[in-house]
A = this chain, B = another copy of it.
Amino acid sequence: MILLDGKKTASDIKEEIALEVSNLKNKGEKTPHLAAIIVGNKGPSITYVNAKVKACERVGFKSTLIRLSEEITEKELLHEIAILNTDLHIDGFIVQLPLPKHIDEQKVLMAVSPDKDVDGFHPTNVGKMALNLPTFISATPFGILELLDRYHIETSGKHAVIIGRSHIVGAPMSILLSQKRKVGNATVTMCHSRTKNLKEITLQADIIVAAIGIPEFLKADMVKDNVTIIDVGITRLVDTSKKSGFRLVGDVDFKEVSKKSAFITPVPGGVGPMTIAMLLKNTLLACTRNK
């Protein structure tokens, strides 16, 4: 069993990006600049967005954090976005989700210029992804592709089973893995809450992407030997034996499933750390593409 070390891989990617940034700077070219909008001050969102800003600094990007009040109107938020859309210094920007309930999230995501939408959430970028055109692939699917690529895991002709059809992980993974691309050409089965014979299907899988958010859902008797497991889930479970009082658990029963796996992502330290690295990669792409 080989552990797909997302932490190490993400760190490698960040080093590569830092090198590119320093090359850009040496050539007197523009330094990539990511902006992040955060509305309100809910704990987890602030933690995420701060991690993104800190990652920018580490690779030599410029970053701008725009903190807006929880009480901001939708119109005011759309105005902030319009400013970023036209600001030539900003290469890409993100709007940290979730937004307060009085704001229409879809409307906000659609207001972001597709050329600066480094989260890859705008329909135009989702459509380009589905059409296999150059675009910003959103961070989690992009990170999974990169992880499979860097560990040289063959996907062509393999049977990949995706569990969970969310718009940010499951659905794009099923599209990407079936496409004619380097990490692609897989036969892909998309499973979800309505799937009746899940175990029958997962037993056929060479690669499983679990993205349903149910802790330790995928058991050892649901997978065949030498499977590759990508675990996207991350749930906090109460654990009094830990100092923190909780432990992080994925959608896969790691202890048992790992015994049958050829490759498996740990939780934490698997897919999670890859997402920020891919956001940086998209920002670098936005900077060099918009030149």
Contact = CB atoms under 8 A, between A and B. Distances in A.
Contacts of A178: 165, 171, 174, 190, 192
B175 A201 contact: no
A130 interface: yes
A122 B114 CA distance: 14
Interface in A88-136: 106, 122-133
Contacts of A124: 123-124, 127
B130 A195 contact: no
Given A123-B133, A130-B130, A171-B130, A187 B191 contact: yes
Interface in A159-198: 159, 165, 167, 171-172, 174-175, 178-180, 185-192, 194-197
Instruction: Identify whether the interface residues of A are mostly helix, strand, loop, or mixed.
Output: mixed
A261 to B, nearest CB: 21
B122 A127 contact: yes
Interface string A61-86: 00000000000000000000000000
| Most B Cβ at <10 Å: residue of A133, A171, A194 | A194
B190 A194 contact: no
A165 B179 contact: yes
A166 B185 CA distance: 13
Contacts of A165: 178-180
Given A123-B125, A130-B130, A187-B197, 11 more contacts: A123-B123, A123-B128, A123-B133, A130-B171, A130-B172, A131-B167, A156-B194, A174-B174, A178-B190, A178-B192, A187-B196
